[in-house]
Structures are given as C-alpha cells and as structure tokens.
Structure 1
Amino acid sequence: MRTIERILRILRQRETPVTDPTFATYYSMLVSEVGSGAPTVEEARRDFESVRRVLDRAFIA
C-alpha cells in the first residue's frame, strides 16, 4: 500500500498531470521496481513517448 501512496504523491507533485493510463501503468511499475533513483515523470514520459512512437509505426506499417 505504501508503494501506491508513494506513486500517487509523486504524480501529484509534478506540474504535468498523468492522464494517459498506459503511461501511468508504466511509471507505477517503474517506480515500484526501481524504488529510489527512479526517473522523474518528465524523464520517464520522454523515454516512454519515444518507444511509443516506434511501436505505433511498427503496428501501422
């Protein structure tokens, strides 16, 4: 339960709200696995979006 509370606290502190459920799932798993030293929401979103673009192109083609 503390992990969920920590994730919610981290997400609330950031300027950009997390409205994408896929990203929210990814980031919550990332934070729960890494613990301290996890990337910020902005860093994780940047990395996630670059991978998402590649996957989108692969599925469209």
Structure 2
Amino acid sequence: MKAKELRSLAVDDLLKKNQEMREDLFRLRFKHSIRRLENSAKLSQLKKDIARVQTVLTQKQKGQSV
C-alpha cells in the first residue's frame, strides 16, 4: 500500500485499516509460531504498511498538510 493512497482516505477509514492490519499481523504471527509460513516476507511488509498508516494518521490528526 502506498502513502499516496492512504492520504486520500479519511481519518476514520485510516483507523479502521490500522485495526484490520494489526489483526492480520497477529494472525500471521500466530501461524508463523505454529508452522512455517509460505511467504514469511509478508510479516515485514505488513509491519511497514502499518507504519505508513500510522504516519499518515498522525499527520492528519496534527493537521499537517499532506
């Protein structure tokens, strides 16, 4: 997911997306601990996406121009 796409979303949508991504990350970590994942790179990619969402969210909440 690109930051440009995230900036077009509303704050409520960003909060919802953040929550969904965190739940997905929890599920992937759980699966990874039980058995091997087919694509373990998805964990790090999801972490980066969560960080992007949080960055855009912080910028919007502080009222910075994005």
* Fold match (TM-score > 0.5): no
Larger radius of gyration: 2
TM-score, normalised by the number of residues in structure 1: 0.37
TM-score, normalised by the number of residues in structure 2: 0.35
